[in-house]
Amino acid sequence: MKKILEIRDLKIHFNIAGGLFKPKQTVHAVDGINFDVFEGETIGIVGESGCGKSSLARGLCGLNKITSGSALFNNIDLATANSKEWNEVHKQMQFIFQDPVAALDPRMTVAEIIAEPLETLYPEMKKTAVMDKVLATMKLVGLSHNQINRYPQEFSGGQCQRIGIARALILEPKVLICDESVSALDVSIKAQIINLLQELQQKLKLTIIFISHDLGIVKHICNRILVMYLGNIMELGDKKSIYATPLHPYTQALLSAVPVANPNIEKNKQVQLLDGDLPSPLKPPQGCVFNTRCPQAIDKCHSERPQCRLINQHMVSCHILN
């Protein structure tokens, strides 16, 4: 498979100004990760709140500044791209936000919202051609042409997310970044949007980076799973093998908490509870960042950061695995 995105030692840090008696501090949101994204796949990124999923996604589309490392997309390094290069990136990579209502300007009509990326990046395009493209894209995502002059507040959450998807697709991108794009929706609407994304992926040959807390949805829609913890990759592998035989203790704990539809299995299932809370990204632990909560931690885990290495077809960051 052809690589569409190559990420190497990527770091995204945020500096926090100190007070009168407080020094400046740094939030290590993403702290040196390496992985590739391949054409046509859906890669799921999972982990607890605060693990750096959204910071990574926003860094890849220019909403967060990359501190160091590289992210190559179409021979453009997103870490050092200028405004002209970012315009080219945005034509090929688009973002779908978590809150479908808040992501839309209430003062703009559906037509204006969907057309905005086209008018911004292709200013020479005629208005009639733009409107034709808007109508075609609305039809593609299941919106009616007679809704074109309505405002976002006249739509449900699911319809607003369809508008957001249409806005992203009007540029005919190669990559969609979905940041918790169904978490704010009702269960039935969530299923409709997931099915829509899968249909669009097949029809338009899209590559999707899918961020979610819902491991059931991730299992349904994704080809590969990337597990993050405190800005670091804990495990990366094929969906089937990750769910069947998770190797990292953190991945095992996450998957043990996924509900099972069979009540007999669910009743006897052992959930692996982790002690304590996620450490602060202002001061991540020395060595392996998971050592403060890992039930299998050894002395080496507290002093040396593990390298991500291939074990049984998984990329895993762990000292205790051979």
Buried/exposed code over 58-85 (b: 16+ C-beta within 10 A; e: otherwise):
bbbbbebebbebebbbeebebbebeeeb
Residue type present at position 91: K
Contact between residue 141 and residue 169 where contact means Cβ atoms under 8 Å apart:
yes
Please enumerate, as own/partner, the contacts of 275-279 that have beta carbons within 8 Å and a separation of 24 or more.
278/48, 278/49, 278/50, 278/51, 278/229, 278/230, 279/230
For residue 145, the 8-state DSSP code is: G
State the Cα–Cα distance between residues 223 and 77, nearest whole angstrom. 25
Q: For residue 93, give the nearest of 154, 39, 28, 161 by alpha carbon.
A: 39
The contacts of residue 26 (CB under 8 Å, 6+ apart) are 13, 14, 15, 16, 282
Buried/exposed code over 24-55 (b: 16+ C-beta within 10 A; e: otherwise):
eeebbbbbbbbbbbeeebbbbbbbbebbbbbb
CA distances from 32 to 13, 52, 118, 166, 311 (A): 10, 11, 34, 33, 20
Tokens 């009743």 correspond to what residue?
Answer: 267
State the Cα–Cα distance between residues 217 and 219, nearest whole angstrom. 5
Angle between the 157-169 and 127-140 helix axes, to the nearest 10 degrees? Answer: 130
* N-to-C CA span, the chain: 28
Strand residue runs (E) in the chain: 3-16, 25-38, 42-46, 68-73, 76-77, 93-96, 175-179, 207-211, 224-229, 232-238, 308-311, 314-317
The contacts of residue 136 (CB under 8 Å, 6+ apart) are none
Q: Is 211 exposed, middle or buried (0-12, 13-18, 19+ CB in 10 A)?
A: buried
pLDDT for 267 equals 61
Q: Which residues pair with 179 in a beta bridge?
A: 211
pLDDT for 129 equals 95
C-alpha 6, offset from chain centre: 15
pLDDT beneath 70: ranges in the chain: 19, 259-271
pLDDT for 262 equals 62
Contact between residue 10 and residue 80 where contact means Cβ atoms under 8 Å apart:
no
Tokens of 74: 């179409």
pLDDT for 8 equals 96
Tokens of 2: 């052809």
Tokens of 78: 């997103």
pLDDT for 72 equals 96
